Amino acid sequence: MTRLLANPWTVIFLVVVTACIGGGTVAFGEQETGVDKREKRRENADHDATAPAPTENGQRVLEAPGNEWDAPSPPKNNPGQSKLFGKAFHYDAFVYDKAGDKPGVAGIIRRGSILRVGGIVNGSGCKDGTWYKAEPFGYVCSSLGFHVSDEPSSDNYGVPRAKVEARLPYQYSRVITKRAPRYYRMPTVHEEKQARRAMEKKGPTPEAVSSLMEGDYFLALAEKETREADGSVFYRTVRSRYVREDDVELRDPEVVRGEQVGRGDWELPIAFVYGEDRPLLERRKGKLQNVGVAKKHARFIVKEEFRDGGQAYVAGPNGIVLRDEVRIVRDVKRPSGIPANTKWVHVDLSEQTLVAYEGDKPVYATVVSSGKEGYEPPTGTFQVQEKYVSTTMNATDPIDGFYEVEEVPWTLYYHGGYALHGAYWHTDFGKVRSHGCTNIAPVDARWLYYWSDPDVPPAWHAVRFQPNKTWVYFTS
């Protein structure tokens, strides 16, 4: 997968009304709907790993939790002592590792974001500009992406702030019209007519068109704008392009998340149901019988693994599921090459699972989607080299064709173009499906982003090649 160095804000609020009085009566005389009942079950699924599963119509239901974590909060901006402000005007403005010729990129500030800068620093390589010390580290050049002044400006140059408090930093969408035009600016009515003819290969492409999107495209959206001439509605994207509203479909994926190991009764090994809803079984009178359903993404502590009639099964506190219908997250020994008392992540490619460790203690477990056949990530130990709030990726699949995914969230590069990152375009975690990177549910990816090293300073969009790094250990 190719990434562009330049680089839905969506929060799902699960409001469950549980004001009940006596024998299941709902306040205000309303009847509890099937959706209400399921939301209660999903909420209860988070509380206790060993609590009895609820029933519905006489069937036991093992639910997946539908709520998000109180995830780690982004670091607070330290005002510091500097009275100067550097405002990024390049889409991705670079913070450099030195004030001199051929500096390396230490970090990225997104257009419109502001960081405090210190005094002037002498050095070559900043043609027609001035080097300033950046806070908390690095250097910025006033002619290479930054306006420096003694007062911060409120102008964000049309680029929305990433919603770093949410599971997804932007509102996302998928392009649903083949060869849909993407414009440099709001097109005129005449330009749009020309673009629509170009879509059908019946005429030239007007200059207002940046591309005709043929392939699989996912866009990050900033806001809607209406063309005064005829009332047509367009989305301005985060990358300051325009696309017609009816050419895209908003993406609002369901909440999927892993488990904080050690929270409540949760401990490894944990089994995650994947693929689809699965039968929930129980042994009665010596025979396995169907007693309910284990919902996709439900999980349970593994109490026993056994075979019966040639089939393998996994048993938990609330029932039994076929072994082939779950992914099991297990504790593994820290590799000798990873120092003690450090943060590291184990990805088991055979099980499609991920565990985060602090020293020898597992602290988080979930399921992932790694590279499909022919795109498997390398095994071994690596270190996180770069971290991005979001970054755009594209490539060409020999079967599926070209694809472009804007602002892939919570991205951790650990080996060249291989990364751990959030995925907003599917929820099929537990199955291989990517082009080499490891897809993670956005809630889990955000947790991993803020838990792992190196830290990304406030107002920064990315850091690169810092000394403190989290280890990543891949096994097959």
pLDDT in tens, 395-451: 888 777 899 999 999 999 999 999 999 999 999 999 999 999 999 999 999 999 999
pLDDT tens per residue across span 66-106: 776 666 777 776 555 668 999 999 999 999 999 999 999 99
CATH numeric code, 171-251: 2.30.30
Q: Which of 218-222, 325-329, 431-435 has the lowest mean pLDDT?
A: 431-435
Three-state DSSP state, 120: strand
> Which string of DSSP letters, residue by residue, matches 139-150?
EEETTTTEEEES
**CATH node for 343-475:** 2.40.440.10
Phi-psi region of 401 (alpha: psi -120 to 50; beta: other; left: phi over 0): left
Q: Do domains 84-149 and 171-251 have the same CATH topology?
A: yes
pLDDT of residue 230: 97
How does the average pLDDT of the chain come out, rounded? 89
pLDDT attached to residue 2:
54
Which 3 state secondary structure label does DSSP give 242?
Answer: strand
For residues 439 and 429, what is the distance between their CA atoms, to the nearest angstrom?
8
**Cα angle 351, 355, 357; round to 5:** 150
- The Cβ of residue 118 has, within 10 Å, a number of other Cβ atoms equal to 16
* Residue spans per domain, the chain: 84-149, 171-251, 343-475
Residue 24 banded pLDDT, cuts 50, 70, 90: very low
Reported as a single tens digit per residue, the pLDDT across 349-405 is: 999 999 999 999 999 999 999 999 999 999 999 999 999 999 999 988 877 789 999
Query: Collapsing DSSP states into helix, strand and coil, what is residue 193?
Result: helix
pLDDT at 40 over 60: no
The class level of CATH for 84-149 reads mainly beta
Q: Percent of the chain having pLDDT more than 70?
A: 88
Q: What is the pLDDT of residues 225-280, one digit of tens each?
A: 999 999 999 999 999 999 999 999 999 899 999 999 999 999 999 999 999 999 99
* Cα–Cα distance list, 300 to 40, 145, 266, 304 (Å): 18, 50, 8, 11
Residue 55 has pLDDT above 70, yes or no: yes
In angstroms, what CA-CA distances link 430 with 272, 313, 366, 408? 8, 18, 9, 19
Bridge pairing between strands 59-62 and 287-294: parallel
Per-residue pLDDT at 260 = 95
**pLDDT beyond 50 at 47:** yes
CB-CB neighbours of 27 under 10 Å: 10
Phi then psi for residue 66, to 5 deg, are -105, 5
Residue 103 and residue 123: Cα distance in Å, rounded?
11
